Amino acid sequence: MRHYPTFNNLCSVFGISESYCQKIYSRYARIVAEVKTLPNRKELINNPPNTLIIDVSEQPIERPVKHQKDFFSGKKSRHTIKAQLIICALTLTIMSVICGKGRQHDFSVFKINRLFIHPKSLLLADSGYQGLQKLHKNTNLPHKKKKGCALTAEQKAHNKALSKQRIFIENVNRRCKVFRIVKEVYRGKHKNYSLTWRLVAALVNLRYDCVI
């Protein structure tokens, strides 16, 4: 996961068959996922009110054989898959990871998975989550420039202050992208992508002592 070699390379190093190498990885990946887990989904609704930051990380994938349009991202102009992270702004703990297809809008990934957050928790998001206030009233979003209208000085100051608060999730993303399996072109099965990200997120929490 850290260096993301192919199974063909690994089987040459250890002198075993490629299929057996893949079998060992799949077995131990699920064992680690059971031992090192992310906070339960209920933590977001039951925890005392705090400040949370939400953002989406997009990773390129090999062109799918089926349903190519579902994974084609207009923003990246290629086939991608998304991972939505929610972190605690105070401890930088990764609280939740939800995966979606490249064509899905960031806000759609949030809505489809029906993630419930404590009503009094402050949620910091970027412009990709316009309309999030309807689902979570205590949301702080940047002001979006309208066609033919310039942002006021107060709106620019608000956007700048929000960016400084949200920068922490970019730092957490960098910690995760040390694992090349979530940075380079993803070669695995899409159904295993959520497991991969949960593993990486749990290991990052463990590495930086962010376990609740």
| Tens-digit pLDDT profile for residues 87-139 | 999 999 999 999 999 999 989 999 888 788 888 899 999 988 988 888 889 99
Name which residue leads in pLDDT, 193 or 39: 193
Amino acid at 157: A
Q: Tell which phi-psi region holds residue 148, choosing left (phi > 0), alpha (psi between -120 and 50) or beta.
A: left
Question: Sign of dihedral through CA atoms 86, 204, 79, 21?
Answer: negative
Contacts of 111 (CB under 8 A, 6+ apart): 135
For residue 46, the model assigns a pLDDT of: 79
Looking at the predicted structure, is the pLDDT value of residue 169 above 80? yes
For residue 154, the model assigns a pLDDT of: 93
Tens-place pLDDT, residues 16-48: 999 999 999 999 998 988 888 888 777 788 777
Distances (CA, A) of 129 to 19, 95, 99, 204: 42, 18, 16, 25
Looking at the predicted structure, is the pLDDT value of residue 212 above 50? no
Distances (CA, A) of 142 to 63, 105, 161: 34, 17, 9
Name which residue leads in pLDDT, 170 or 46: 170
What the block records as the tokens of 136 is 């979570």
Which of 33-42, 75-84, 95-104, 165-174 is predicted least confidently? 33-42
Taking all residues of the chain, what is their mean pLDDT, rounded to a whole number? 89
Which of 70, 92, 67 lies closest to 82, judged by CA? 70
Treating both helix axes as pointing N-terminal to C-terminal, what angle do 18-35 and 193-207 enclose, rounded to 10 degrees?
60
For residues 94 and 91, give the distance between their C-alpha atoms in angstroms, rounded to a whole number: 9
Where exactly are the structural domains of the chain? 36-207
With beta carbons less than 8 A apart as the criterion, state whether 200 and 182 touch: yes
For residue 203, the model assigns a pLDDT of: 92
For residue 37, the model assigns a pLDDT of: 82
Mean pLDDT along residues 188-200 = 92
Element (H, E) at 158: helix 153-177
In a 3-state reduction of DSSP, which class is residue 4? Answer: coil
Mean pLDDT along residues 158-173 = 93
In a 3-state reduction of DSSP, which class is residue 79? Answer: strand
Mean pLDDT along residues 176-186 = 94
